[in-house]
Amino acid sequence: MRELAPAKINISLLVGPPRADGRHELASVMQSITLCDELTMADGVRDEVICPGVEGPNLAQRALAGFRECSGWDGPPQRLEILKRIPVAAGLGGGSADAAAALRLLVRRSGLGGEEAWLRELAARLGSDVPSQLRPGRCLVRGGGELVEALPPPAAFGILVLPSHASLSAAAVYAEADRLRSPRSATELAALDPLALVGVNDLQAAALSLEPSIAVAIERARFAGADHAFVSGSGPTVLGLFHDPLAADRAAAALAAENVGAISAKPIPPPD
């Protein structure tokens, strides 16, 4: 069985106060895009996740173990292979996308339903970005990531993705954001409309503080004609949003001709 794991971008990301569980209150519009990892699942000799080029613990492995524990499914061992295309530790939710895609594969493999409360609760335990990616598309996310409201697909637009050679830990960026300024209050966060704040990312200053080269990429996206240029999630990837999808394609091609790593992407609609 095969499943694509789309990267996500935060069209807006508003950060509120820290919670008792260590996460922050959020208000964010998230959009899945056409930059995807590819997962393949088949019976194996033991439950394992193979992800060439990525060292250390893998969130998809936790998803597999958590699915068995929460569902009680005792099917045969599963071998999960991940072909990585989404940059790691880049603010594009690649690890969370893989975990969510692994859960979708396991739902299909086990024959269990995909809308049970326990599945959403498991996704929330795995990470703040996983619930929003259980069903790729466009959504409004609140709470610590566990409150997800599906949104209608947007009008067509283009996305310029400028990956970085650096990587940033989301935990480090949140800690730096707390050091630089007080987060928005819960009252302020509840009063704001993330749909109206395209390109606002409360983590951008912290990401810039930890990785100053981000500023160059933001200026590059602006010079390429982006209508909005900003950091993706916790960074260090920079996004350029274009009202004209073809303009994003042209910008990516022009930057590639200058030996600048750039990817043109588009929003993907929710599955049928």
Alpha-carbon dihedral angle through residues 221, 180, 145, 236, given to the nearest 10 degrees:
30
CA end-to-end span of the chain: 18
Q: Within a 10 A sphere around the Cβ of 123, how many other Cβ atoms?
A: 25
Q: What are phi and psi of 263, to 5 degrees?
A: -130, 135
Q: Who's near 205: CB < 8 A, 6+ residues apart? A: 177, 180, 181
Among residues 98, 129, 227, 272, which one is catalytic? Answer: 129
Decide if 84 is catalytic: no
* CA–centroid distance for 69 within its chain: 25
At position 214, the amino acid (one-letter code) is: I
Decide if 8 is catalytic: yes
Could you say which DSSP state residue 244 is in? Answer: S
- Number of Cα atoms under 13 Å in the Cβ half of residue 197: 18
Among residues 8, 37, 98, 202, which one is catalytic? Answer: 8
At position 13, the amino acid (one-letter code) is: L
Characterise 194 by phi-psi region: left (phi > 0), alpha (psi -120 to 50), beta (else).
alpha
SS3 257: helix
Positions marked catalytic: 8, 129
